[in-house]
Structure 1
Amino acid sequence: WTLKYLNRMSAVAILVSLLLLALLSIIFYFKFDMGGGTRPSSSSSSTSSMPLTISRSNIVVGIFDDQGYDDLGPSSSLASLTPTLSAMAGDGVTLSNFYTAPSCTPSRAAFLTGLHSVQLGVHSDVDATAPWGVPSAFTLLPQHLKTLGYSTHLVGKWHLGHHEASLLPTSRGFDSFFGFYTDAVDQTTHVSPSSCKAADTEGDGSASPACYTDLALFQEGADFVSGDWRSFEVPTEKSGTLLTDDLAAHAESLIQDRATMGQPLFLVLSFPSATTLSEVTPSLEARFPALAAVPDSRKTTAASTALVDAAMATVVQATKDQSIFDETFFLVFSDNGGSL
């Protein structure tokens, strides 16, 4: 299995990565049941009667948000907090000469379409009230994979348009979506500061019912139109839990379900920004003892990175528990570099 950090993707490299994923979905692994014999020559009359098994790799994609290029890897000052990612890099392939667009939406759109932002007409981020998204005329990767029999799921950040139903993940090839539509949400409140600000109809900056971006709201089938901010109240059943942990648990359940579905899996686990953790609590310090050695100025970023590593550990272990680890291709990258 392979790991790719695509923290710096050129337009050409984005195309290469998409082509690789497409190829992975159509590569056929031929297993010949020869009853203990050797594979016959092309002239053998028994060739046409050989049983043929066709299998497709599962694809698990981890997308980091605003993750600094030097936050990961053996030379990073945070290396002690990322044992899973370091192990994946050691066992896989690390690509270090790749580039992304400098903001989220163009980069994520390029990944899912194989097209540069100039070709897509997507040059900036979709904000909370934006009446646009990645044009529906473009076919996204999960739509292609569904035609090949894949079960497709997005867990976490979307940020490619939510103004109308045709722009939502479940309209763009994903069988299910569990996460948030906009740029960022707080790790513990699960509320989007940008959406609260956008809906501040009273002018006092207070949180209104338009602070809609709780995880529970965006489970499959949730309806949302950005022009109707007041139609939602804030669900609270998950408030206080760490967003990254919730996303990892949901991804784990999808992998467990896949084992009984009999379909190859395409799972995108799109994490919240490394800047969305407001504080490092004593429980986090107890959970990740290596945080004690991190300077205060870096501690929240370090804790966010440790949470992502733990989430990837959960996902990797889930594939092992379901005996699909050896059939799974892992791709890990950041949509762009750290915030400046």
Structure 2
Amino acid sequence: MDKKEFRLYMMEIWLALIAFVILHSSRYGVYSAEQPNIIFIIVDDLGWNDVGFHGSNQIPTPNIDVLAYNGIILNSHYVQSYSTPTRAALLSGIYPMKLGMQGPSFLAAEKKAMPKHKLLPEYFKDMGYETYLVGKWHLGYSRWNETPTLRGFDHHFGFYNSYCSYYDYLSTWTYNEHDYTGFELRKDGQAVFDEAGKYATDLFTEYTVNTINEHDSGKPLFLMLSHLGVHAANSGKPLEAPQETINTFRHIVDANRRTYAAMVSKIDDSMGSIITALDQKNMLSNTIIAFISDNGAPTTGPYQNWGSNLPLRGIKDTLFEGGVRSVAFIWSPLLVQTARVSTDLMHVTDWFPTLFTAAGGDIDALDPELDGIDVWSSLVYDLPSPRNDILLNIDEKTRNAGLRFYNWKLIVGTSQNGSYNDYFGHIPMENIEEIPYNSSAVYESPAGQVLKKVNYSPLSEVEYENIRYQATIKCTATKKNPCDPATGAVCLYDIPSDPCEENDLAKYFPSVVRRMKRALVDYRKGLIPQIEGEVDIEAADPKLFKYTWSPWVDCADATCNIA
């Protein structure tokens, strides 16, 4: 073969490769060069064991499951152990300890706020996106310029604090043995009392669906739906759901767990409604949907919600897997290699550059100091991920720190005096084995019906079961060597072979421990001390603002308008 023939041969191969990519660039159609719509869904305090695609039979989540199976299940997706730090990391792309946000979540009336960094929605606005936040903010509101519509979101419909009740939208906090109660539902800063009485998950879903229906298709949409569910609300009625939904879970003996299951089920219904709306609006073919939990479930302790992280060790507010390894998946027709379980490391900061790239942004325009790593190509094409380590946190007050490095995980120190270190998320689990997983319900769910229509080669129920098996974690440690960092011990785990953190290997791999401790010391150099802020309840008392939780700095009473 001479050079000319060789060039022609190579050109034929190249053209064939291009044709293959075009034909197979998506299970749902050809890749669109238009900016994709992005729907980012955060569920609050959702347990690892509380979705069907992780192997649980107790709470059916067919709409969530079918999207996960047809997308990419992110089985090694890490977040922070609290709500506020996770949201800070997500919207900034920066590790919280570099922002002074590494501590506990913000309290009502606390004079703290997200530092003045350019946030993800601000970048999306620069790229021509309409930006919406629906639901929880939890990044500060002492001044109006700390609230969502002045931090990059064109519109916000939701609440500022950690939680509120699911029907009346009141949030009660106790300071100095006195209860302070205020209304917590706002639309673009204005209190919307007339929406009280509607169930929160349904209300936020309704707003999201209406936003989709009314969206100008000439502009891309970035919508973050940050659910109140399934966070516990006020003391006395921490869990709430429609009674007709609760009644469908009579197989669950524990009444609190039964209500929690209904709350998860309403989140699942929400997913079905959103996918249906996107399909009817003809937006689905050019949309990215991401779904995460902000941290593990608090199975016990303050704000207990009766969620389950089984079989993972630890709960919310720990650096064990049950606290920081979150339920997560991504679905989009723009993904080439789908219907798979990814075990590649991914951190919540990675969504910032990843979604920015997916939206057509120039990665060089981002702050080079971002901790998030662009993994869009890795997700789209199933290429090796550039992420090989994750700083789980460094908290200089509790002296608690954690690091993932390839297969290894190191934990130093503890939180809450180690109260939850040996807690594996045990809850009443009666009759679980008697309830088979209903893959037919997944297949026939509203989201399943949409995907069957738009997918030229829909997955079978057998394929669902196979993916589910791959996404189910089992405790596989051949030996058990307990380690409790509350005793001062440094704990080292090989997570792929010991996901339940039962076998401490620190004494067997001292060189790994030394290397990872040095890495923590290096990270520590970039730490900014935690933001300090007093609880200014005398000035922020809701009764001064028509009994609403409202920005109060530079505001004397309810006559203070939105800046």
TM-score, reference length from structure 2: 0.44
CA shift for structure 1 position 77? 3.2
Q: Secondary structure at the match of 1:94?
A: strand
State the one-letter code of the partner of 2:89. Answer: A
User: Following the alignment from structure 2 to structure 1, what is the Cα–Cα distance between the partners of residues 266 and 46?
Assistant: 13
Match for residue 219 of structure 1 among 171, 177, 187: 187
Match for residue 195 of structure 2 among 230, 233, 238: 238
Percent identity, aligned pairs only? 30
- Aligned Cα RMSD in Å? 2.1
Match for residue 270 of structure 1 among 226, 232, 244: 226
CA shift for structure 1 position 321? 0.8
User: Following the alignment from structure 2 to structure 1, what is the Cα–Cα distance between the partners of residues 154 and 77?
Assistant: 30
Greater relative contact order (Cα < 8 A, sep 6+): 1
Written as runs of structure 1 = structure 2, the 5 A alignment for 1:106-117 is 106-117=85-96
Match for residue 120 of structure 2 among 141, 144, 161: 141
Match for residue 282 of structure 2 among 323, 328, 332: 323
TM-score, reference length from structure 1: 0.72
CA shift for structure 1 position 240? 2.3
Structure 1 pair 57–189 and aligned structure 2 pair: CA distance change class (3 A):
same
Q: Which has the larger radius of gyration?
A: 2
State the one-letter code of the partner of 1:112. Answer: L
Match for residue 307 of structure 1 among 257, 266, 278: 266
Map of 1:226 onto structure 2: none
CA shift for structure 1 position 241? 1.5
Kept after mapping to 1: 8 A contact 2:41/2:226? yes
CA shift for structure 1 position 294? 2.2
1:130 aligns with 2:110: yes
State the one-letter code of the partner of 2:244. Answer: S
Kept after mapping to 2: 8 A contact 1:280/1:299? no
1:298 aligns with 2:257: yes
Count of residues in Structure 1 that have an aligned counterpart in Structure 2: 261
Q: Secondary structure at the match of 1:318?
A: helix
Q: Deviations over 1:91-115 (max 9, x none)?
A: 0001111221111000111011111
Written as runs of structure 1 = structure 2, the 5 A alignment for 1:155-170 is 155-170=134-149
State the one-letter code of the partner of 1:254. Answer: T
State the one-letter code of the partner of 2:204. Answer: L
Structure 1 pair 166–156 and aligned structure 2 pair: CA distance change class (3 A):
same
Q: Secondary structure at the match of 2:269?
A: helix
User: Following the alignment from structure 2 to structure 1, what is the Cα–Cα distance between the partners of residues 86 and 241?
Assistant: 29
CA shift for structure 1 position 166? 1.4
Kept after mapping to 1: 8 A contact 2:85/2:96? yes
CA shift for structure 1 position 249? 0.2
State the one-letter code of the partner of 1:212. Answer: F
State the one-letter code of the partner of 2:218. Answer: G
Map of 1:225 onto structure 2: none
Q: Deviations over 1:271-313 (max 9, x none)?
A: 1141345345533246xx3x12223241121011011111111
Match for residue 58 of structure 2 among 61, 69, 78: 78
Kept after mapping to 2: 8 A contact 1:184/1:273? no
Consecutive unaligned residues of structure 1, counting only runs of 5 or more, are 1-38, 40-52, 223-233
CA shift for structure 1 position 236? 4.1
CA shift for structure 1 position 261? 4.9
State the one-letter code of the partner of 2:137. Answer: W
Map of 2:363 onto structure 1: none
User: Following the alignment from structure 2 to structure 1, what is the Cα–Cα distance between the partners of residues 123 and 222?
Assistant: 11
Written as runs of structure 1 = structure 2, the 5 A alignment for 1:1-340 is 54-74=33-53, 75-80=55-60, 82-123=61-102, 124-136=104-116, 138-194=117-173, 197=174, 205=179, 208=181, 211-213=182-184, 215=185, 218-222=186-190, 236-258=193-215, 260-274=216-230, 275-276=232-233, 278-285=239-246, 289=248, 291-296=249-254, 297-339=256-298, 340=300
Map of 2:490 onto structure 1: none
State the one-letter code of the partner of 1:294. Answer: I
State the one-letter code of the partner of 2:196. Answer: S
Structure 1 pair 204–143 and aligned structure 2 pair: CA distance change class (3 A):
closer
User: Following the alignment from structure 1 to structure 2, what is the Cα–Cα distance between the partners of residues 190 and 283?
Assistant: 21
Structure 1 pair 314–76 and aligned structure 2 pair: CA distance change class (3 A):
same
User: Following the alignment from structure 1 to structure 2, what is the Cα–Cα distance between the partners of residues 335 and 310?
Assistant: 19
User: Following the alignment from structure 2 to structure 1, what is the Cα–Cα distance between the partners of residues 212 and 145?
Assistant: 27
Q: Deviations over 1:205-250 (max 9, x none)?
A: 4x65xx121x2xx11143xxxxxxxxxxx86422222011000000
User: Following the alignment from structure 1 to structure 2, what is the Cα–Cα distance between the partners of residues 247 and 101?
Assistant: 24
User: Following the alignment from structure 1 to structure 2, what is the Cα–Cα distance between the partners of residues 279 and 181?
Assistant: 20
Kept after mapping to 2: 8 A contact 1:184/1:272? yes
Structure 1 pair 310–279 and aligned structure 2 pair: CA distance change class (3 A):
same
Kept after mapping to 1: 8 A contact 2:240/2:263? no
